Structure 1
Amino acid sequence: MKKILLFLFITVSYTINAQKIDLKKNSTIIPKVGLKNYPIDKTTLPEIIKAFGNDYEKSEDFVINENEQLPKLYELNYKKFGISFYILSNDNNQTIRAIKFTKPFNTLTENKIKLGISTLGDVLKHTQNSSKISVSVKNKKEASAHINKFKLAETGISFSAKIANYDTNKYPSKKQLEALVIDEIYISNYQHVLLIN
């Protein structure tokens, strides 16, 4: 009987913790910080698990620099929320170093850039520096456009959008790139995003 009660307590506790995140409510994200209640470079993995639960997939995202003996970055992906947290493999404190937002996470920036609705053109309108759209191509089927990917350490935020039916013989026009809807927002203070494809 005690074991059953303990199991029920753990199950209820997990459900309550996981329900702290309201996907219907807009969560404002801040460059170089991420979520106000869970700022990067300050929040630890145990705090994230307490808030979001244990239902995440852990994977090695990439090696920061293959030529040097630097730590690897691990992604902790909460698919049902549309949010990933990143920690370094050599960090005993398990401090969150970056956050990636995708749908269904309901988020917008302080400049009212909304994930899944705003376009890369909307980002450029609200950017005060000389940001531009860059394109990454993996193959004929996988291409994406980015803003701030190469200035992440400076800006603390990058925006990405997939390019459907990318033609390797014809670079998209400025108008086409600006019309792409943002499907990923990445927050970090480090330049390791350069290695994300």
Structure 2
Amino acid sequence: MKNIQISITVFLTLISINCNKVQNTNFVMIKEGIGIEKVIVGKTTFNDIVLTYGKEYNKINHLNYSYEINYSKLGLAFYYKYADKTKTIYAIKLKSPFNARTHKGIALGRSKMEDVISIYGPPKWRTTEKGKTWWNEYKGIEFHVEKDKSLPEFPLNEGIHIKKTIIQIDIESKNNYQNTLF
């Protein structure tokens, strides 16, 4: 009988520990149209990014329109315009394993597109031909879900994609909203 009580106590303790891990997850707060942590779109520069996140990044030239500073191990990418001599960040892309959520509660890698729509409002679905995601854009922020490859690319099957988990969040300035990362 004592062995059963000990087993039950250990089991309940393990469950309690696991529940606390989920509840105590530390998220980085996303500020729509503003940024994350100390990174502010429209103010933070490439040099600031390197000082904050280090030199282990890939620099990608997007057709001489913009540069992407990609920290793939962190799930972070920052963009500045090719012709911008100050190298000011105008957009941020967040992906797994980055752990972030908006102040309205949408969590990267956890929330579904239907959660986004219920909180942020009617969808404005977007994609690009041969792109990997469908996204909804709101002022200063975009939420992406993976395209279902078993379906034709067009038209959008909203019933399927609305149930998908958010895999990417993009942040752009509310004041200079352009829907263009690159």
TM-score normalised by length of structure 1: 0.71
Cα deviation, residue 91, structure 1: 1.6
Aligned to 1:147: 136
Tell me whether 1:132 sits opposite 2:123 in the alignment: yes
Contact 1:102 1:115 in 2 (8 A): yes
CA drift at 1:173: 3.9
Instruction: Check conservation: 1:133, 1:145, Cα contact below 8 A.
Output: no
CA RMSD in angstroms comes to 2.2
* Equivalent position SS for 1:145: strand
Corresponding residue number in structure 1 for 2:26:
25
Give how far 1:193 is off. 3.0
Q: Are residues 1:119 and 2:112 paired?
A: yes
Matched, 1:80 2:73: yes
Say whether 1:55 aligns with 2:56. yes
Residue ranges of structure 1 left out of the alignment (5+ in a row): 1-23, 64-71
Partner of 2:148: 164
1:41 corresponds in structure 2 to: 42
Percent of aligned pairs with the same amino acid: 26
Mapped to 2, the partners of 1:169 and 1:102 lie a distance apart of: 22
What do residues 61-91 of structure 1 show as CA deviations (whole Å, max 9, x unaligned)?
Answer: 356xxxxxxxx11100000100000011122
Does the 8 Å contact 1:135/1:143 carry over to 2?
A: no
CA distance in 2, matches of 1:158, 1:145: 10
Structure 2: state its 5+ residue gaps. Answer: 1-24
| TM-score (normalised: structure 2) | 0.76
Q: 1:143 to 1:137 in 2, by over 3 A?
A: farther
One-letter code aligned to 2:113 = L
Distance 1:101 1:134 in 2: 19
| Shift in CA distance, 135/45, structure 1 to aligned 2, threshold 3 Å | closer
Q: Which residue of 2 aligns with 1:187?
A: 171
Q: Check 1:169–1:46 CA distance in 2 against 1; reply closer, same or farther (3 A cut).
A: closer
Aligned pairs, number: 156
CA–CA separation in structure 2 for the residues paired with 1:170 and 1:40: 33
The equivalent of 2:93 in structure 1 is 100
AA at the equivalent of 2:58 = E
Q: CA deviation at 1:167?
A: 2.1
**CA distance, structure 1, for counterparts of residue 154 and residue 80 of structure 2:** 38
Out of 150, 162, 179, the position equivalent to 1:178 is 162
Shift of 1:127: 1.2
Residue 36 of structure 1: how far off its partner (Å): 3.7
Kept after mapping to 1: 8 A contact 2:148/2:161: no
